[in-house]
Structure 1
Amino acid sequence: MESLVIVGAGLAAAKAVERLRDEGYEGSITVVGAEPHAPYERPPLSKDLLLGRETDPVVLDPRWWAEHDVRLVTGDRATSLDRDGRRVTLDSGERLSYDLLVLATGAQPRVPDLPGADTALYLRTREDSAQVLAALEAGGRLVIIGAGWIGLEVAAAARQHGVDVVVLEQADVPLAGVLGVELAEHLAALHRSHGVDLRTGVTVEEVTVRSGRPTGVRTSQGILEADHVLVAVGAVPDVVLAEDSGLEVDGGIVVDEWFQTHDERVMAIGDVANAWNVTLDDRLRVEHWDNAIRQGRAAADVLLGRDTPYDWLPYFFTDQFEFSMEYVGRSAPDDRLEIHGDLAANRCIACWFDRQGLLTAAMNVGIWEVSDTLRAMVGRRVDPAEVAALG
């Protein structure tokens, strides 16, 4: 009987095994995760869970695994991969043999090369989220280093807890590279209107520490005292296992449009995969919820012998104060932006067009059930009236 091992027990892995069993795959399946949890979704960690809302982010019912004859190993990190012998060794010493291997090892928070950075809070796991929530409930001043999606989502949650929040960002406008200056400035102004002390053009030099705990942040503009410090400066793919085994790594594990490495018995999916996207004719490594779901299912289809390439457009969403949006596509810095609707009221549709007039990306803000329609528009010329009609 064919033996499949998936290293990494996140959303992509869960969706892969769910699809495999639903479609009649009869081989043995083992899923190995370093965290002590069954696979769960990460978006609630910086949203609902930080707001104290009752949310269970688990992907599959705990009974599902045994009922579908899938072995789930949690709290046991894979430490080495022998591709010649087709074996994965775990931290516990157990060795797993495989016929097929899927690497879904995800990503880890980026720890900046700053004195004291290792003492700060980060947000990636359920335990991290619980620690951040405890800090918010304790009150005091929270200093957040980084005004990306995670940093701003935590800032929004913190203000709803009544916490004094300072966000430090090196760029002049946060998220301008993704949203463009106009939309980024709108989001920055929204945070400031809710009491977030958002400081841009700031270089962080040190997280100050006393007795092993952060006490503040030293910046190019002076020292900020803090009761809690959160670092949110992005994530890095967890490629150690792949790199040590000789797989090609370049900003992630390099795979083709079918998630295949140069080893025909090894695939990679999810946050760790730098995969060829046939629609965009380019490589992408995407760290979002939607991509993990789609790549997990698509990899399962490939294992089942189906031609299911990586052909969809990136998608992500965020909720910050009154600003709730979905974004699909991939814009370039020199694309032209059109906004249809009322941005000031956080109800509009933003469209990005390239020099040929093709829609490269679209974002719906406060207008729901239009994301699939916008996805279908990306890549073609679009009449502005067609967009305006969606609002």
Structure 2
Amino acid sequence: MQYDYLIIGGGMVADSAARGIREHDTTGSIGILGADSDEPYTRPALSKKLWTDSDFGRDQVPLGTASEADAHVHTGTRVASIDRSNSSVTTDTGERYEYGTLLLATGAEPTRIELAPSPRVVYFRTFADYRALRELTKTADHIAVVGGGYIGTEIASALSLQGVKVTLVTSDAVVGGHMFPPSLAAVFDKGFADHGVTVRRGTKVTSGAEASARVQLQLDDGSALEADGVVFGLGVRPSTELADAAGLAVDDGIVVDQFLRTEDDHVYAAGDVANYPDAVLGRRRVEHVDNATEMGKAAGRNMAGAAEPYSYTPYFYSDIYDDGYQAIGTMSTSLSTVEDWKSVGKEGVVYYLDDEAVVRGVLMWNVWEGLDEARTLLAEKKPQTEQSLRGLI
């Protein structure tokens, strides 16, 4: 089979890229090869709205890529190799697809320990994982969630709202302590306790096993944890194997230029897997939905001849219980912070500054405006003071 535009990866990047292509080329053939069992869908809903919004159903998760972008979506299709010299790819079942232009939207794979996935062991990433976890909640009284980052905290809060007993295991001394200043982390941590979540702080899971319809986890503090099931949210690693084997530059992601092209003019990369030169923040790789949709569309437009630099700086967001935040740049307590609260832990802005007092990240807690101001502040790259930042957003 042959496509004018071929996309490897069937996620939100693929959907956005197909739509971007259609903005410039209404007739060229588009093929999407996705290893996922489902056609492209909105990933944030898997840990947010599907659990918290009774009006949001599973039928609202698919993005309608095939019909709305006139794309041929091949699900359950895993690409084994790329032959750049012949502009073709081969799947693990031996099928060969030729392309005019190729987009690598291979995303990322969840980090795993030596415990195989099963109906009771979920490495949360896909729509199928959501369905498996929903099924598990029908019989499980107690579920362990491993990981105190975005996915772990969102899933722990979602499960606790379903009436399931939840134990959250985090390496942080306080939940969110790697991202939030102490004043906010304390409030964030307390929110889980207030909702009945048992938190095992300052420890990691070293191994696990299934036995007698239970999952047993060993922790590095010498203790053990037993539950009816476990959900892992330990971060992800970019899926760069295909690009690497094809001789493309890889460095914590597939290296692309400002047009999202690899060193091969006929091969692009976008989304979680792309290491790109952000116009404001510098070269980096971003794993959030805003980047996936905006970068995917930009890549699609450029594949179809737009030749436009990707100059957008993405933001990210999360919702936990009654609180939510949006942020842009680097959120890490390895940086110093300036906090500007209307009410601590209720509404305010946290600025993250480097050793030269230059703002490198902005967190807006229960504040839903200010992204443009934050981008401008980050782009200025000028030293700031507590006085200059207060009241800015």
TM over 0.5: yes
Match of 1:359 in 2: 359
Gaps of 5+ in 2: none
Equivalent residues in 2 for 1:1-391 (5 A)? 3-24=4-25, 26-51=27-52, 53=54, 54-55=56-57, 56-60=60-64, 63-65=67-69, 68=70, 70-112=71-113, 114=114, 116-119=115-118, 120-210=121-211, 214-219=214-219, 220-282=221-283, 284-331=284-331, 333-344=333-344, 346-380=346-380, 388=391, 390=393
Equivalent pair of 1:329/1:361 in contact (CA under 8 Å): yes
Q: Distance in 1 between matches of 2:207 and 2:232?
A: 12
Q: Secondary structure at the match of 2:341?
A: strand
Secondary structure (helix, strand or coil) at the match of 1:99 reads strand
Taking a change above 3 Å as real, the CA distance of residues 276 and 23 of structure 1, as seen in their structure-2 partners, is: same
Q: Give, in whole Å, the separation in 1 of the partners of 2:32 and 2:85.
A: 20
C-alpha distance in 2 between matches for 1:170 and 1:133 = 26
The amino acid of 1:271's aligned partner reads: D
Query: Residue 38 of structure 1: CA displacement?
Result: 2.0
Give the Cα separation in 1 of the matches to 2:376 and 2:186.
28
Deviation at 1:359, TM superposition (A): 2.8
Q: Give % identity.
A: 30
Q: What's the offset of the Cα at 1:301? A: 3.1
Q: 1:81 to 1:62 in 2, by over 3 A?
A: closer
Native 8 Å contact 1:122 1:232 kept in 2: yes
CA contact (8 A) 1:25 1:304 kept: no
Deviation at 1:117, TM superposition (A): 4.8
Listed one character per residue, the Cα deviations across residues 323-380 of structure 1 (whole Å, up to 9, x for unaligned) are 2111112256453322222454521122223344433221222222333333333333
Alpha-carbon distance between aligned partners in 1 of 2:33 and 2:117, rounded to the nearest angstrom: 27
1:228-266: CA deviations, max 9, x gaps?
Answer: 111111112122222222222222222222222222221
CA distance in 1, matches of 2:145, 2:173: 16
Contact 1:144/1:231 (<8 A) preserved: yes
How far the C-alpha of 1:201 sits from its partner, in A, is: 1.5
Distance 1:111 1:378, change over 3 A: same
Q: Deviations along 1:255-294, whole A, 9 cap, x unmatched?
A: 2222222222211111111222242233x11110000011
- C-alpha change, 1:255 and 1:97, in structure 2 (3 Å) is same
Counterpart Cα distance in 2 of 1:84 and 1:62: 29
Give, in whole Å, the separation in 2 of the partners of 1:185 and 1:268. 39
> Which SS does the other structure have where 2:22 is aligned?
helix
RMSD: 2.5
Query: In the aligned structure 2, how far is the partner of 1:276 from the partner of 1:214?
Result: 46
User: After alignment, is 40-49 or 185-194 more displaced?
Assistant: 185-194
Amino acid at match of 1:57: V
Q: Which moved more, 1:306-315 or 1:126-135?
A: 306-315
Instruction: Return the letter of the residue paired with 1:388.
Output: G
- Is contact 1:316–1:327 with CA below 8 Å preserved after alignment? yes
Q: Distance in 1 between matches of 2:182 and 2:66?
A: 45
Stretch deviating more after TM superposition (77-86 or 339-348)? 339-348
Cα distance in 2, alignment partners of residues 124 and 257 from structure 1: 28
The answer (yes or no) to whether the contact 1:7–1:78 under 8 Å persists in 2 is yes
The verdict on how the C-alpha distance between 1:332 and 1:156 changes in structure 2, with shifts beyond 3 A counting, is: closer
CA drift of 1:151 comes to 0.6
C-alpha distance in 2, partners of 1:265/1:210?
50
Q: Which amino acid aligns with 1:20?
A: I
Structure 1 Cα separation of the partners of residues 17 and 293 of structure 2 = 8
2: distance between equivalents of 1:17 and 1:208? Answer: 42
- What SS does the aligned partner of 2:86 have? coil
- Deviation for aligned residue 1:315: 1.3
Single out whichever of 196-205 and 350-359 deviates more from structure 2.
Answer: 350-359
Inter-CA distance 374–278: structure 2 relative to 1 (3 Å threshold):
closer
- Say which SS state the counterpart of residue 243 (structure 1) adopts: helix
Please report the TM-score for the alignment, with normalisation by the length of structure 1: 0.89
What letter matches 2:362 in structure 1?
A
Cα 1:359–1:26 change in 2 (3 A) is: same
SS at match of 2:122: coil
User: Does the CA contact (< 8 Å) of 2:176 and 2:189 recur in 1?
Assistant: no
The alignment's TM-score, normalised by the length of structure 2, stands at 0.88
Higher deviation after alignment, 220-229 or 168-177: 168-177
| Equivalences, count | 383
Secondary structure in 2 aligned to 1:233?
coil
Comparing 9-18 with 253-262, which one deviates more in the overlay?
A: 253-262
Q: C-alpha distance in 2, partners of 1:171/1:332?
A: 13
Find the residue that maps to 1:176 and give its secondary structure: coil
